[in-house]
Structure 1
Amino acid sequence: MTTGDWSDIENDTIVAGYFSMLSDELSGRRYNKAAQNRSLQDQIGRSRGSIEFKMCNISAALRGLGLPTIKGYAPRFKFQMSLAEAAARWLARNPEWEVALHGKEQRGLAEAAPLFIGVAPTLRNAPPPEELEQMQRIARRFDAAGRDERNRALGYAGEERVFHHERATLSQYGRNDLAARVRWVSKDDGDGLGYDIASFTPEGHDRLIEVKTTNGWERTPFHISRNELEVAEERREHWHLLRVYEFARDPKAFELRPPLQAHVSLTATSFQASFG
């Protein structure tokens, strides 16, 4: 059996095997981890245990990239950046993969139960610092936030899910009158208003919701525009950021309220150049 550092060819091979199983899992198809392991042993000459350990490393790399991971392969950290690079190469060669997760028409959302709204990430529930730093480094290098932002199918699906969540929640409170008035404004009026969904509290107060969706875990970074920040400040009594995560598998969410600086670190990632 081969030992020592993994080559790019070996990393590419095992990453392809991981994505094959992940695709089956997310689609509800049966697959065999043991058979995949044996196939990889034949292809790259690594031991069963080495391949199992590397699969867990891939889970950690994909968490940094803001992607879902295979159940049963708990993330293991302290891996080389070359593994994340292999995952990024696979995504570049298969651009349709992420689009396909949400490119099909969503069915049954109108009847879906409200989203589970949990506790937002805090310092108290953070993973160990060295693990968090490695995931953040991968997210920055490969622009996980930008990829989510450019994934229009994902953004659309997330907004649609929240639209029906708001209507279902109001109906549960006996406010069918308000549920009927919830609007998906980014779809109907465009993206310039600084929020995506115009909803209400059960008491009838405005509830303006900006939706940020990822297939990754709850700490995946996200982009927010200057306009969205300005609207958050101007309408801080009514503005909410609803962060939807693990969307491809079992969507969950948490809310952030202005000022956002109290919850997240805001980092300038681009600048506008003007003359005069």
Structure 2
Amino acid sequence: MKNVPLVRGKAGLARRVKLWRARGLSVGFVPTMGALHDGHAALVRRAARECDRVIVSVFVNPLQFGPNEDFGRYPRALPADRRLVAAAGAAAVYAPSPAEMYPEGFRTHVEVEGLSDLYCGAYRPGHFRGVATVVLKLFNQVRPDRAYFGEKDFQQVVVLERMVRDLDVPVKIVRVPTVREADGLARSSRNAYLSREERAAAPALRAALEAGVQAARAPGAAPARAAAAVRRALSRTPLRLQYAAVADALTLEPARDLRGPRRLLAAAYLGRTRLIDNVPL
């Protein structure tokens, strides 16, 4: 099976992108933390359809992990990642070291105020600050025309859209629908943590969200009714709900009603593994 070039430093990356630009080629970008799966492959395939060249970054970003989170055990599988993205149409993999991304003396961070502390951010302080910081750095290094993000991490997508608008970053962010297993579980690198029994129970999160969708369709329904339906559905499962909420799908603000585009978001623990998912209302 073919592989793709592996670029370790930002200087080598800049040379490669400069050559493409000199030929008038467009550049798509898929930022990842590695341990890639079919959801990531879908991002790369979409980017390859819409751009002449696609770069995939693989970097487990320490800034977006809390002190008691899974940075140390987060799965790392660079050789398999390279094969997967090559088959999906990538032209290069950029895998910088932590020292390359955050050299000694690094002090600057990016935070999208008012959105980063909602939903997942309320339970993972500093997470979206780390995400925004690393993504802006990657945008400055890659200089893509378009960047592709999966809707499974819906809050992340909207936070980054806001960052791009507010800071005049010349990148178009493209939302790509969530890729799911046959039983409805959203594809995630952290699914590898699940035991056999936990994996069998995990689709209950998607089923609970669908219960929320049905509740939202009732005449006169309000956002609280949809969130309550998720809580009731999960109360009969091994999952421990962390939150369920309805957000404006464009601004991420908590929804006061169900008029206009809305997103039902939820996070839950299954054993030690934190799962997130969302569906449109």
Question: Larger % of helix: which?
Answer: 1
Question: Larger % of strand: which?
Answer: 2
Q: Answer whether TM exceeds 0.5 for this pair.
A: no
User: Scaled by the length of structure 1, what TM-score is found?
Assistant: 0.28
User: Scaled by the length of structure 2, what TM-score is found?
Assistant: 0.28
Q: Greater Rg, structure 1 or structure 2?
A: 1
